[in-house]
Structure 1
Amino acid sequence: MAARPNAGTKGVPRADRERQILAVASVAFGTHGFVGTNVADVARAAGISKPLVYAYFGSKEGLYAACLDRAGALLGDEIERVARGDVVGLERGVRTLEGMFDVLEDQRHVWRLLHDRSAPSTPEVATVVAAHTDRIHALAHEGVSELLALAGVQDGLDVSAMTATWLGIVDSLMDWWVAHPEQSAADMVERVTRLVAALFTDAAGATR
């Protein structure tokens, strides 16, 4: 009997097998980087054959691109969830960071995967990076626009400059957190809340 097109191996549906491979590969790429990850090791950890990985993803670059897509969607969906809620201004920024910390609490390798300097710049990978970067930038621009509008600032260049600044702050905070594994998501939420209060509130408690 011929195998069904959507069949995986040993009775495992293809979609489930792909998720299994991506979960294992994401940890490998996020831990060892693209250059330090071997497809054979991924296959062995997933309990499948190396040819099957290539059959599903075409190449090591294809596997990496699929892992990037999965990771980008994970963070992008959480950021968008907060954006579509009822918070604005600084609270939206803090809630966004809180959501990111919560999502990555037990999988900080995802952040390292998304910022791997050894990643290839093939069209396949570049396309995935661009799509998720554009999505997150658009959400950040929206949030910053709301924040500045509350203060009566609507200049396009001001919004652009502040969006770049906000994205830099987020990247720096996440990098710091990933480098300090002893810090929990709850610890970071407390820290961010404390830092925002110190930066934007004076001793009398009045917003500057």
Structure 2
Amino acid sequence: MTVRTGSKGMPRGEREAQILNAAAIEFGTRGYASVLVADVAVRAGVSKPLIYLYFSSKDGLGAACAERAGSALAAKIAEAMGAPAPTFLAAAAVLDAIFTALEPRPHDWNVLYDHGAPPDTETATVARRYRRIIAEQAATGVWSALAAAGLSDGRDLSLLTHIWMNSVTAVVSWWLDNPDQTADDMSARAHRILTALTTA
């Protein structure tokens, strides 16, 4: 079996991952609108033509980044939500899943939640799809928590889902500002804070 290679003999799959890793940092730190394919090429140590060969365009590259980020996050969250648990433990398990999914590439969260790509692009379409999936997962978890507390108001659900999603974004932003923290460190920190909040 012949393995297709990219430049300098590196297998194409590895080269694509290298480019996507560089693109995730660029898109995740500067925003889609500010990034040029040349910026990604420099960070990845490859040529612009190679990126166009693999991904066709900046939009194709952005869409591939969003697809990789979204599928990894949604899958980990779904796995964490698969086992019924009390509200505190369920929230902690979802945070653990998010930290685990993001540990290889913490900027993936910003790749999905950056609204800088024009709305008619594939990048924006893929990101919107995964934001919707993750929001639905959040709403499912929040609904379970509210139901356990005997609450059923739809606006309570909407508000708490909004609070949860913005809180997760804030936590990931803090993590990006403190890159020395591992996923395990973040999980331990989140568990301590959740415990303090639920027992205060």
C-alpha displacement of 1:33: 3.7
| Letter in structure 1 aligned against 2:56 | G
Q: Helix, strand or coil for the counterpart of 1:154?
A: coil
| Letter in structure 2 aligned against 1:91 | L
- Offset from partner CA, 1:42-75 (integer Å, 9 cap, x none): 3455565422322332211221121111111121
Q: Helix, strand or coil for the counterpart of 1:108?
A: coil
C-alpha displacement of 1:150: 1.0
* Alpha-carbon distance change, 82 to 49 in structure 1, aligned in 2, over 3 angstroms: same
| Letter in structure 2 aligned against 1:149 | A
1:15 and 1:171 mapped to 2: Cα distance? 30
1:60 and 1:189 mapped to 2: Cα distance? 34
C-alpha displacement of 1:176: 1.6
Deviates more, 1:29-38 or 1:66-75: 29-38
Aligned equivalent of 2:79: 81
Task: Decide which of 159, 162, 167 is 1:161's aligned counterpart.
Answer: 159
1:165 and 1:102 mapped to 2: Cα distance? 22
* Aligned pairs for 1:20-169 within 5 A: 20-43=18-41, 46=44, 48-116=46-114, 118-169=116-167
Where is the helix percentage greater, Structure 1 or Structure 2? Answer: 2
The question of whether the paired residues in 2 share the 8 Å contact of 1:88 and 1:143 is answered with no
C-alpha displacement of 1:194: 2.2
Unaligned runs of 5+ residues in structure 2 are none
- Offset from partner CA, 1:78-127 (integer Å, 9 cap, x none): 11110113434221111111222233234223233334464444431221
The question of whether the paired residues in 2 share the 8 Å contact of 1:35 and 1:118 is answered with yes
Q: What count of residue pairs does the alignment treat as equivalent?
A: 198
Q: Highest Rg: 1 or 2?
A: 1
TM-score, scaled relative to structure 2:
0.81
Root mean square deviation of aligned Cα: 2.7
TM-score, scaled relative to structure 1:
0.79
1:162 and 1:37 mapped to 2: Cα distance? 34
Q: Helix, strand or coil for the counterpart of 1:85?
A: coil
The question of whether the paired residues in 2 share the 8 Å contact of 1:88 and 1:146 is answered with no
The question of whether the paired residues in 1 share the 8 Å contact of 2:117 and 2:124 is answered with no
Task: Decide which of 183, 196, 200 is 1:198's aligned counterpart.
Answer: 196
The question of whether the paired residues in 1 share the 8 Å contact of 2:69 and 2:112 is answered with yes
2:30 and 2:164 mapped to 1: Cα distance? 28
2:183 and 2:194 mapped to 1: Cα distance? 16
2:47 and 2:176 mapped to 1: Cα distance? 32
* Alpha-carbon distance change, 45 to 157 in structure 1, aligned in 2, over 3 angstroms: closer
